[in-house]
Amino acid sequence: MIKKILNNFQVGVLAVSSFITSIVVLLIIIFLFKEGSGVFSKSLLEDGYVLVVNSRNTVNSIAPKDIKNIFDQKIISWKELGGADSAIQLFSIDDISEYYSEEQIGSDLEYMDTCINNYIVNHPSVLAYFPKKNIAKKFNGKEIKVGTMGLYEFVKGREWLPTARPVVQMGILPLILGTLMVSLGAILLALPFGLVTAIYMAEIAHPVWRRIMKPVIELLAGIPSVVFGFFGLIVIVPMVQKVCHIDVGETALAGSIVLGIMALPTIISIAEDAIRNVPNNMREASLALGATQWQTIRSVVIPYAKSGIWAGIILGVGRAVGETMAVLMVTGNASNMPTTFLQPVRTIPATIAAELGETSAGGLHYSALFALGCVLFLMTMVLNVYVQVALKKKSK
Amino acid sequence: MAQIETKDLNFYYGQAQALRNINIAMEKNSVTAFIGPSGCGKSTLLRLFNRMNDLIDGSRIEGSVMIDGADIYARNVNVEDLRKKVGMVFQKPNPFPKSIFENVAYGLRVNGISSRSEIEGIVEASLQSAALWSEVKDKLNKSALQLSGGQQQRLCIARALAVAPSILLMDEPASALDPISTSKIEELIFELKKQYTIVIVTHSMQQAARVSDRTAFFYMGVMVEFDDTTTIFTNPKEERTLNYVTGRFG
């Protein structure tokens, strides 16, 4: 009787704890997506500021992208925004002293609001940008609605300027490309070396040599990533700079090399296990037919271990995609669209790590970084699902 | 002249001696059965004939193994060529996880035959010889792992035959199979001995009696007796042989 109660209790504890763990994991993911989704509902205008036009202006809202173009003087006429054929006259609160004397504004800026209002009323083609608190009590201007950002703009936008004024630019395409590029480069570098080493260790190396090599390579996995980053900064970056004859060594290539080295132990260790798990009778069957050792490895052992080797590669990629510190230290972190491996790039994890400290909680920038986290999560999840499928295929 | 002959053969796994002073000679186109209790060295001896034991670290051989009059452990011997001449069928069916066709074609491909028509011809002939053709001719591109155990073992025999060996070593080829599959393998051995010299290791005394011309009885690394199969089973000279074949030990 007591035994039964005890058993039920133990089973219950297991069930409850696994249930709670699952819920917590789910909650974390929900939290991530909830915070991230904020980026699509918040105004892109700098917090606390408004954009105002003359009340007779027919334009009611301006897309965030156009606002940037207006302030960059790429759009100069209201006509381009669907309004009257007149030049846009920009007004910023910093310019107020050019138009009104100190007496008019008042020594304590007490008439500032009225001055701004007057200016807007007197200038039909004005586009004024000033803090919300300076809206006069008897306000005669018209506030412009700034649209929120769509998913498409977020993912396809080519500019990542999260602190730009008056509107931020949050296109994450350069960050996605930067992440993919650094990871792809890392895998292209790590794959041949990793596979060759795994095959050598599993099939060719003397057991004594193997027993020395394997722990040494696995030791590589235990080195903190910041140390790899430091190594990259001191050794790889100058090397890249010298070998490629470029001005700045902090490039995607440097990131790929450092990440490649970091992905090696995972790839080697898992691929080696997969190769060693090939039943010996497969090798014997091949050798007994007069195949050489290399023919046996190429035509029997590797095809047999293929899915396991793939799992190793993908776990290695997963590490590369999510790696933050080492990449942050060696890739230069310029958020422009990468075109070659010899340019500085900025990856998603590096962006989050570098910028989160500067954001205000709940703000647009903060939400955007969470949304970046969601993108990264989805990228690695696709990889992980692929690993699961590959492993399942193997076990069949 | 004997096709396989050993002289004063000793074999060691590290410190342990697995074979002691073996002198045996096997004629062309004969079937020789190796019998004896587990661990007696019969499989070890078989695997010396195609140098499969080379793969085992710390193994060591003394004496000589002659095949067609040449010492196969001489320095200038090409092991791959030897293994082409001396085919092997293992205890557990071990087809590659490839198609039926590719399993048989594998030995041809690794030996440099690339003509599609030539490979197709040899694959069909080998499957015919292994009495498997009629069962698989419509599904040559299906995975070999879908075949039954008995079919897999005959596929392994076909695979070994494809590289045109003159000797076929069989390491308990029917021990993992059901009685019907076993009898098919035994019939096959009967057919194959017209063209091949066969050495078969078996745990089944009945099987040795049914398929072999000559039988060697091994015990603890020593070849106790080697004679015509009928003599071994009806009138052995050694008492240990008599005890074993009558089931009194082992």
Nearest CA in chain A to B49: A288
pLDDT for residue A186 is more than 60: yes
The whole-number pLDDT of residue A97 equals 79
Q: List pLDDT tens digits, range A319-331.
A: 777 888 888 888 8
Does pLDDT of A184 surpass 60?
A: yes
Q: Where are the domains of chain A?
A: 49-147, 173-395
Contact (CB<8Å) A289/B87: yes
Question: Within an 8 Å CB–CB cutoff, is residue A302 touching chain B?
Answer: no
Is the Cβ of A205 closer than 8 Å to some Cβ of chain B? no
Cross-chain residue pair A279–B94, CB shorter than 8 Å: yes
Chain mean pLDDT for chain B: 90
* Mean pLDDT of all residues in A71-90: 81
Judged against a pLDDT cut of 70, whether residue A396 lies above it is answered with: no
Scanning chain A, the segments in alpha helix (DSSP H) are 2-37, 64-71, 96-99, 102-105, 112-122, 151-156, 173-199, 207-221, 225-231, 237-243, 252-276, 280-288, 293-296, 302-322, 325-330, 348-355, 364-395
Predicted pLDDT at A40: 85
Choice among A228-242, A304-318, B11-25, B232-246 with the minimum mean pLDDT? A304-318
What's residue B34's pLDDT?
93
Contact B94 A287 (CB under 8 A): no
CB contact under 8 Å between A292 and B96, yes or no, is: no
How far is the alpha carbon of A202 from chain B, nearest alpha carbon, in Å? 14
> What does the pLDDT look like over A192-218, one tens digit per residue?
999 999 999 999 888 899 999 989 988
Q: How confident is the model at residue B218 (pLDDT cuts 50, 70, 90)?
A: very high
- A17-26 CB contacts, 8 Å cutoff, 24+ apart: none
A290, A300, A303 ranked by CB distance to B80: nearest: A290
Q: Do domains A49-147 and A173-395 have the same CATH topology?
A: no
φ/ψ (deg, to 5) at A163: -120, 15
What is the average pLDDT across B214-228? 92
Average pLDDT over all residues of chain A: 86
**Any chain B CB within 8 A of the CB of A299?**
yes
Greatest extent of chain B over all pairs of C-alpha atoms, in Å: 56
Q: Which CATH number fits domain B4-94+169-245: 3.40.50.300, 2.30.110.10, 3.20.20.70, 3.40.50.2300?
A: 3.40.50.300
According to the model, what pLDDT value does residue A133 have?
81
Q: Which residues contact B219 (CB under 8 A, 6 or more apart)?
A: B36, B37, B40, B240, B244
Residues of chain B neighbouring A204 (CB-CB closer than 8 A): none
Q: Is A281 on the interface with B (CB under 8 A)?
A: yes
Residues A47 and A91: their CA atoms lie apart, in Å, by 18
| pLDDT per position as a tens digit, A95-115 | 887 888 888 888 777 788 888
pLDDT (0 to 100) of residue A302: 92
Contact (CB, 8 A) for B157 and B191: no
Position B250 confidence tier, pLDDT thresholds 50, 70, 90: low
> In the prediction, which pLDDT does A99 show?
83
The chain A residue lying nearest B109, using CA atoms, is A291
CA nearest to B91 within chain A: A281
**Interchain contact B138–A (C-beta under 8 A):** no
Distance from CA of B95 to the nearest CA of A (A): 8
**Residue A344's CB: how many other CB atoms inside 10 A?**
20
Taking an 8 Å cut-off on Cβ atoms, the answer to whether A289 and B90 are in contact is no
pLDDT on residue A63:
79
- CATH architecture classification, A173-395: Orthogonal Bundle (1.10)
Mean pLDDT of B226-237: 91
Query: Over the stretch B22-61, which tens digit does the pLDDT of each residue have?
Result: 999 999 999 999 999 888 889 999 999 999 988 888 888 9
B51 in A contact zone (CB under 8 Å):
no
Is residue A247 packed enough to be buried (19+ CB in 10 Å), middle (13-18) or exposed (0-12)? Answer: exposed
Q: How confident is the model at residue A155 (pLDDT cuts 50, 70, 90)?
A: confident
B106-147 pLDDT, tens digit per residue, is 999 988 888 899 999 999 999 988 888 989 989 999 999 999
Evaluate the omega torsion of the peptide bond into residue A166 and state whether it is cis, within 30 degrees of 0: yes
Closest-CA residue of chain A to B78: A290
Comparing CB atoms, the residue among A283, A290, A304 nearest residue B83 is A290
In the prediction, which pLDDT does A395 show?
Answer: 54
Q: Is A304 on the interface with B (CB under 8 A)?
A: yes
B56 interfacial to chain A (CB closer than 8 Å): no
The CATH code for residues A49-147 is 3.40.190.10
Q: Is A155 on the interface with B (CB under 8 A)?
A: no
Question: Could you tell me the residue ranges of all domains in chain B?
Answer: 4-94+169-245
